Amino acid sequence: MLIPIVTFVFLTALFAFGAACLYLLQRSASPRTELKRRLQQLAGTDRELPPELQARLAEQARRAGALVTGTPLARSIVKRLELAGMSIPPASVLAASALTVVVAGAATALVTGQAAPAAAAAAAVIGTMEIALRLRISHRRERFTELLPDALTMIARSLRAGHSLAVAVQLVAEEIPPPVGPLFRTAHEQQQLGLRMVDALTAMNERVESLDLRFFTTMVTINAEIGGNLAELLDKLAGTIRERLKIRRQVRVYTAQGRMSGYVLGALPLIAFLVFNSTSPEYESALLKEPTGLVILVLAALLQLVGLAVIRKIINIRI
């Protein structure tokens, strides 16, 4: 019983030390720190470390960051953070996630004295972070889809007024709220740095998962190659997106009862288990203490998840 506790405490201290070192290295190599250091050198107030030592530390920090971010897991995290609109270094995310998982497992091991609940707590933390990230990506994608028709209409009106596509994109970047505005602002800045506007707009597909955005970038690409009335095409695309959003809202109204049924059916067994366990602990002691009872609880939880997935599949109508 003592070995799992000592192991979790050791891993907690190890990951905490690693996370602190990684954070300090990433901070010393960040562009903001580099800019601050150069400003201090110009002002003559940099008395902390010699420039050679600071350059050496920055190089080591860059190497450590490249080693961490070069793994497939880190690249996947970078991609998902970009889709979620979160400008967080992947090394910091990995360190914070590992530290949280180990701390949760160690705390559970210290309370229960067993390894199985500690592993379950660590898995629960990982699942919670995964669900939170998916919800963030989904919310950003839905918000982008709601604002995209207004951006397309603004571009079409700007083109009819005689402005260029670059000016229209700049107007969208200034007037449309996030997440549409910052994406178009990035495209406009890339165009000012020398990238073609078509390529800058196409690169937005890597920052948000939206089929409507792909339609828009495809229209712009085709129009740049063969010409045509781009303003009229954008108006039709904006109208199609608005109609689809309208139908989607109607479907959500029609499936509200099914979603509520799923919520109730999902929460009822858990609430009943907690109520019975608090009012009559001996009534459910066999489920919690006997191996057969634990197997029954795990099987019930799996069947509950399967049922919720089936209900979600039924009411989730893609439009």
Q: Residue 45 falls within a domain, yes or no? A: no
Q: Residue 36 falls within a domain, yes or no? A: no
Region label for 164, one of left (φ > 0), alpha (ψ between -120 and 50) or beta (otherwise): beta
Range of the domain at 309: 257-315
Does one domain contain both 132 and 159?
no
Q: What is the reported pLDDT for 45?
A: 47
CA distance 98 to 95: 5
Does one domain contain both 228 and 263?
no
Does one domain contain both 109 and 210?
no
Task: Give the domain-ending residue among 216, 243, 270.
Answer: 243
Q: What is the reported pLDDT for 60?
A: 64
Does one domain contain both 209 and 285?
no
Q: Name 273's Cβ contacts closer than 8 Å, sequence gap at least 6.
A: 284
Does one domain contain both 199 and 211?
yes
Q: Residue 41 falls within a domain, yes or no? A: no
Number of domains in the chain: 3
Task: Give the domain-ending residue among 243, 269, 293.
Answer: 243
10-residue mean pLDDT series, the chain (319 residues): 53 57 55 62 54 66 60 78 82 78 81 75 84 91 94 95 93 94 94 92 92 94 91 95 92 85 85 84 76 82 86 78
Q: What is the reported pLDDT for 301?
A: 84
Q: Which two tokens stand for residue 42?
A: 């110009």
Number of Cβ atoms within 10 Å of the Cβ of 278 = 9
Q: What is the reported pLDDT for 46?
A: 46
CA distance 242 to 121: 44
Q: What is the reported pLDDT for 163?
A: 92
Q: Residue 33 falls within a domain, yes or no? A: no
Q: Residue 43 falls within a domain, yes or no? A: no
Does one domain contain both 135 and 159?
no
Q: What is the reported pLDDT for 156?
A: 95
Q: Which residue in 28, 32, 19, 17 sits closest to 68, CA to CA?
A: 19
- Look up residue 30 and give its amino acid: S
- Look up residue 69 and give its amino acid: T
Does one domain contain both 19 and 67?
yes
Does one domain contain both 93 and 211?
no
Burial of 119 (0-12, 13-18, 19+ CB in 10 A): middle
What ranges in the chain are assigned the alpha helix state H? 2-28, 31-43, 51-69, 72-84, 90-112, 115-160, 165-175, 180-192, 197-202, 211-226, 230-254, 256-279, 285-289, 291-315
- Look up residue 107 and give its amino acid: A
Taking CA atoms, 34 is separated from 29, 39, 232, in Å, by 7, 9, 48
- CATH number assigned to the domain comprising residue 207: 1.20.81
Task: Give the domain-ending residue among 183, 217, 243.
Answer: 243
Q: Residue 23 falls within a domain, yes or no? A: yes
- Look up residue 19 and give its amino acid: A
- C-alpha Rg value of the chain to the nearest Å: 27
Does one domain contain both 195 and 283?
no
